[in-house]
Structure 1
Amino acid sequence: MTLEVALFPCLSDNYGFLLHDAQTGATAAIDTPDAKEIAKQCEARGWTLTEIWNTHWHPDHAGGNVALKRRYNCHVRGPNQDAIPARDETLSGGDSFDFAGHHVDVIHTPGHTDEHIIYHLPSAELAFVGDTIFALGCGRLFEGTPQEMWESLSKLMALPEQTRLYCAHEYTLSNAKFAMSVDGDNPDLIAAVTDAQAKRAANIPTVPTTVGIEKRANPFVTAGNAEELGRRRALKDNF
């Protein structure tokens, strides 16, 4: 496998991601929270940005598109929302494309936003999930419904358990506090929280997580249905 993922902090709690194919030199930024930091990370590695893949329109995910497009003339892919700046290619759930010989599936995951999408690379056993799911959490329902988020999480949980999920924010410790308040007797949750606390104490990212961990520890997945997810999401919004 010639793919490498570079993960680095951006803004206050975002992560930036660069996906690089060593054989071809192709490099994709998954979302663009901070154009200057993304360019800095590319330069430090000797990589040239060739693509941008947006998961949704929020400024902390697409705000760097214009500057990076201007600098690298890279190809910008994103969901069908007018607020995606400098987009060259519109993607919808069920679409797929090739990245340096690697197959990429596009999965529609509404809930956080109506047209939120994720990028799944089956051969690499990884997915870039934006703000649909976090380690021990899920995105706020700014545009969607609990039913939509439940269906979106169910799509993710149908992926192989070893699939690494690259979530876009470092929210895990705050998510852990809430998760323990609603499912504190869950041994899988307790193990995940202990691991997250140790990583953050050592300043190690808790991203990526995996489908297997979230299937058993994430309170919005273990909710079991859309109604309970909605109840827990409302509690979390005011936690």
Structure 2
Amino acid sequence: MLTISPIPAFNDNYIWHLTRNGEHWVVDPGDAAPVMAELGDTPLSGILITHHHYDHTGGIAELRSRYQCPVIGPASIDGVTDPIADGDQLELLGMPMQVLAVPGHTLDHLALVLHESRDGRDRQHLFCGDTLFAAGCGRLFEGTPAQMHASLGKLAALPPQTLVYCAHEYTLANLRFAEAAEPGNSAVANRLSEVKALRAEQRVTLPSSIGEELATNPFLRCHVPAVAHRAAGHCGMESADEVEVFACLRRWKDSF
């Protein structure tokens, strides 16, 4: 059985730990120390990387030195031993994994979709780094609004039951912005209440699902008139197309 659990790192990062049939993989190990503490004497089978930011890659060299394991990720990243690119189909932990290019946060950003079959049913697990967050999305450090909007659209098209494993615990702050961007959305209000309770107990708010994001994430709701009206108004525009709505939302969130 596949098990996925978060290893906390830094202030709000999650390094995702995947285990199945005695194999152990981690996603975006920005720090080697918490990974080694989690594993103890257990060998690390491999590392998955979504993009080049140091809080996602800083542990590669030390983990590689200790475990001599493969590192799968964008070709642009030092330490990657097995480069991957958009459209690649791999096998990981005995299951198929799909690679999607999702530029915007960075130009080299990839998302990884692991396909699990359990009890006769298919389940998908999305490891999206800093592209899609619970109720939010990443800042545009390198890409354009059009690129990020297209990348989010690619992820939003995944099945609604797809589980979303982003790399930061930003959910509470993101939902507070979502409430401002779409104050009449009862799904946002309900999710905000649930997440406040979880964070009051220092509990993890992830994974979410694509269905939950479609209902509550303003960056996936640029087509919704209420969101478009609020975003355009914030930017001093009477109306805007979806990319312009996204750009307005992102600028608004940057200073929220």
TM-score normalised to the size of structure 1? 0.94
The separation in 2 between residues aligned to 1:232 and 1:116, in whole angstroms, is 21
> Is the CA contact (8 Å cut-off) linking 1:192 and 1:213 kept in structure 2?
no
Partner of 1:12: 11
Number of residue pairs the alignment of both structures matches:
232
* 2:52 is aligned with 1:57: yes
The separation in 1 between residues aligned to 2:134 and 2:94, in whole angstroms, is 29
Partner of 1:34: 31
* 2:115 is aligned with 1:98: no
Q: Tell me, what secondary structure is at the counterpart of 1:220? A: helix
AA in 1 matched with 2:25: A
Q: Provide Cα deviations, 1:180-219, integer angstroms capped at 9, x if missing partner.
A: 1111111111121111111111211111110001011001
The separation in 2 between residues aligned to 1:118 and 1:64, in whole angstroms, is 19
Q: Where do residues 58-207 of structure 1 align in structure 2 (5 Å cutoff)?
A: 58-81=53-76, 84-123=77-116, 124-207=123-206
Percent identical residues: 39
Give 1:238 deviation, angstroms: 1.1
Give 1:85 deviation, angstroms: 2.5
The separation in 2 between residues aligned to 1:199 and 1:100, in whole angstroms, is 31
Q: Provide Cα deviations, 1:93-128, integer angstroms capped at 9, x if missing partner.
A: 100111131001011111100010011012242111
The separation in 2 between residues aligned to 1:94 and 1:169, in whole angstroms, is 25
C-alpha RMSD of matched pairs (Å): 1.1
Residue segments in structure 1 that go unaligned for 5+ positions in a row: none
Residue segments in structure 2 that go unaligned for 5+ positions in a row: 117-122, 224-241
AA in 2 matched with 1:73: Q
Instruction: Tell me which stretches of 4 or more aligned residues in structure 1 moved more than 3 Å.
Output: none
Give 1:171 deviation, angstroms: 0.8
The separation in 1 between residues aligned to 2:43 and 2:165, in whole angstroms, is 21
AA in 1 matched with 2:164: L
The separation in 1 between residues aligned to 2:113 and 2:178, in whole angstroms, is 26
The structure that has the greater radius of gyration is: 2
Q: Provide Cα deviations, 1:10-38, integer angstroms capped at 9, x if missing partner.
A: 101101111111x2x22111011210101
AA in 1 matched with 2:197: A
The separation in 1 between residues aligned to 2:7 and 2:29, in whole angstroms, is 12
